[in-house]
Chain A
Amino acid sequence: MRPRALVEPLVSYAFLAVLLVVVSFPFYWMTITALKSETQMRSLLSMFWPDPVVLDNFRHLLGQTDFMAWFKNSVLVSVSSTFVATAIGTLGAYSLARLRFLGRAFLSSAVLITYLVPPSILFIPLYAQIRNLGLADSLAGLIAAYPSFTVPFVTWLLMGYFESIPVELEEAAMIDGATRFGAFRRVILPLAAPGVLAAGLYAFTQAWNEFLYALVFITDVKLRTLPVGLSSFITGDVYGWGYLMAGAVLTTLPVIAAYIYLQKYMVEGLTAGSVKG
Chain B
Amino acid sequence: MAVPAARRAGRAALDRRAAAVGLRFVLGPDYRLGFLFVAPSVLLVLALVAYPFGYAIYLSMTRKYVGVPPVWVGLDNYVKLTWDGFFQRAVVNSFIFTFGSVSVKLALGVAMALVLTSRIRFRSFFTGVLLIPWVAPTVVSALNFLWIFDYSLGVLNYLLVRVFRLLPQGVGWLSEANTAMASVIAVNIWRGFPFFGISFLAGMKAIPAELYEAAAVDGAGPLQRFRRVTLPGIKNIMIIVVLLSTIWTFNDFQIVYILTRGGPGGATQVLPVLTYEIAFGAQRLGEAIAVALYLLPALALVIIVLARYMRRGQAR
- Chain A residues in the interface with B (C-beta under 8 A): 1-9, 11-13, 15-16, 19-20, 22-24, 26-27, 29-30, 33, 41-42, 44, 47, 88-89, 91-92, 94-96, 98-102, 104, 107-114, 116-126, 128-129, 144-145, 147-148, 151-152, 155, 159-160, 163, 180-181, 184, 205, 208-209, 211-212, 216, 226-228, 230-231, 234, 239, 241, 244-245, 248, 251-252, 255-256, 259-260, 263, 266-268, 271-277
Contact = CB atoms under 8 A, between A and B. Distances in A.
Contacts of A271: 198-199, 201-202
Nearest to A154: B41
Contacts of B230: 6
Contact of A275 (B148, B248, B279, B313): B313
B7 interface: no
A236 B204 CA distance: 48
Given A151-B44, A252-B140, A256-B136, A275 B199 contact: yes
Contacts of B74: none
A244 B240 contact: no
Contacts of A260: 128
Contact of A126 (B52, B250, B285, B299): B52
B81 interface: no
Contacts of A91: 37-38, 40-41
Interface stretch (B85-93, B97-105, B175-183, B210-218): B210-218
B67 to A, nearest CB: 9
A62 to B, nearest CB: 17
Contacts of A268: 202
Contact of B55 (A125, A209, A211, A227): A125
A109 B309 CA distance: 11
B51 interface: yes
8 contacts: A12-B115, A91-B38, A95-B36, A101-B30, A121-B292, A231-B142, A244-B147, A276-B314
A145 B48 CA distance: 7
B38 A96 contact: yes
Nearest to B293: A121
B104 to A, nearest CB: 13
Contact of A47 (B38, B141, B155, B190): B155
A12 B225 CA distance: 17
B129 A20 contact: yes
Given A124-B292, A271-B198, A277-B203, 10 more contacts: A3-B213, A23-B133, A95-B33, A116-B247, A124-B59, A125-B55, A128-B285, A152-B41, A208-B137, A267-B131
Interface of B: 26-31, 33-38, 40-42, 44-45, 48-53, 55-56, 59, 111-112, 114-120, 124, 126-133, 135-148, 150, 153, 155, 158, 162, 190, 194, 198-199, 201-204, 206-207, 209, 212-213, 215-216, 222-223, 225-226, 230, 234-241, 244, 247-248, 250-251, 253-254, 258, 271-272, 275-276, 279-280, 285, 288-289, 292-293, 296, 299, 303-304, 306-307, 309-311, 313-314, 316
Contacts of B314: 159-160, 163, 273, 276
B307 A99 contact: no
A275 B141 contact: no
Contacts of B304: 113
Contacts of A107: 38, 42
A277 B235 contact: yes
A99 B158 contact: no
B245 to A, nearest CB: 11
A162 B140 CA distance: 34
A185 to B, nearest CB: 11
A100 B254 contact: no
Contacts of A100: 28-30, 34
Closest 7 CB pairs of A and B: A277-B236, A92-B41, A101-B28, A101-B34, A118-B251, A95-B37, A148-B48
